[in-house]
Chains A and B, each alone.
Chain A
Amino acid sequence: DGGITQSPKYLFRKEGQNVTLSCEQNLNHDAMYWYRQDPGQGLRLIYYSQIVNDFQKGDIAEGYSVSREKKESFPLTVTSAQKNPTAFYLCATFQQGIYGYTFGSGTRLTVV
């Protein structure tokens, strides 16, 4: 089955700790994205990558970092510099054509 796998589904972070959210896809799509979703605020773009070894900041990149070493993988690190990381994080891919964007099932991050 082709799709996007995000792990873990739930993640708890202590104050001052870095955590990494995984996003893996087997759709062979070129572009990958990370969005953050907060209640009442809709989805906001954190980072995106259109090709391997290249990525761009989105609207709310501060306190986050990414890498794109393989086409299939686009991990997101939430650093200690992100002061309010509690949110639902969604990974997506994009391919030209009738399907547009495909989303993963998300990771819920909570600061404890």
Chain B
Amino acid sequence: KQEVTQIPAALSVPEGENLVLNCSFTDSAIYNLQWFRQDPGKGLTSLLLIQSSQREQTSGRLNASLDKSSGRSTLYIAASQPGDSATYLCAVRPGAGSYQLTFGKGTKLSVIP
């Protein structure tokens, strides 16, 4: 059974710092991986979707990488801002015929002004 782990569970950084969030998964046979952001008491907002054939995706200050063979993905946030404070979750989709996601428990990011 696929398991997704996100370490650390919480991270606090000063404003302006570049940072990396980690996501690992036990079964490398994935179709794609998606990063989400969740603000307190809110739903999930999709940030980046990486297909299994891709190595990375970029959107603004965000860059997500995928290394399927090692079962790892990273989300890089450049020049962090207090507005980036949120919980970041990664989720993997096992195959083209499956529409179910397996989620990590998230990393809670605090960017200190």
A105 within 8 A of B: yes
Of A42, A101, A105, the residue contacting B42 (CB under 8 A) is A105
Please tell me if the beta carbons of B105 and A106 are within 8 angstroms of each other in the complex. no
Question: Binary interface profile of A, 76-101, with partner B (CB < 8 Å = 1, else 0)?
Answer: 00000000000010101010001111
* B83 within 8 Å of A (CB atoms): no
- Which chain A residues have a beta carbon within 8 Å of chain B's beta carbons? 4, 6, 31, 33, 40-43, 45, 48, 50, 58, 88, 90, 92, 94, 98-106, 108
Listed in ascending order, the chain B residues whose CB lies under 8 Å from chain A are 32, 34, 36, 41-46, 49, 89, 91, 93, 99-101, 103-106
- CB < 8 Å A-B pair total: 53
Which of the residues B41, B99, B103 comes within 8 Å of A106, measured between beta carbons?
B41
Residues of chain A lying within 8 A (CB to CB) of residue B93: 100
Complex CA gap A88/B42 in Å reads: 9
Contacts of B42 in A (CB 8 A): 105-106
Whether B89 contacts A43 by the Cβ 8 Å rule is yes
What CA separation (Å) do A94 and B100 show in the bound complex? 10
- Known: A43-B103, A58-B100. Is A99-B46 also a contact (CB below 8 A)? yes
Cα of A98 to Cα of B46 in the assembled complex, Å = 11
- Most central of B43, B104, B105, B106 by chain A CB within 10 Å: B43
CA distance A82 to B68 in the complex (A): 38
Which residues on A sit within 8 Å (CB–CB) of B46?
99-103
Residue pairs across A and B with Cβ atoms less than 8 A apart, 12 shown, are A31-B99, A33-B99, A33-B100, A42-B104, A48-B99, A88-B41, A92-B44, A100-B49, A100-B93, A103-B45, A106-B41, A108-B41
Q: Which of A43, A45, A48 has the most CB of B within 10 A?
A: A43
CA distance A103 to B46 in the complex (A): 8
Q: Shortest Cβ distance from A32 into chain B, in angstroms?
A: 10
A41 to chain B, nearest CB (A): 7
Min Cβ gap A81→B in Å is 23
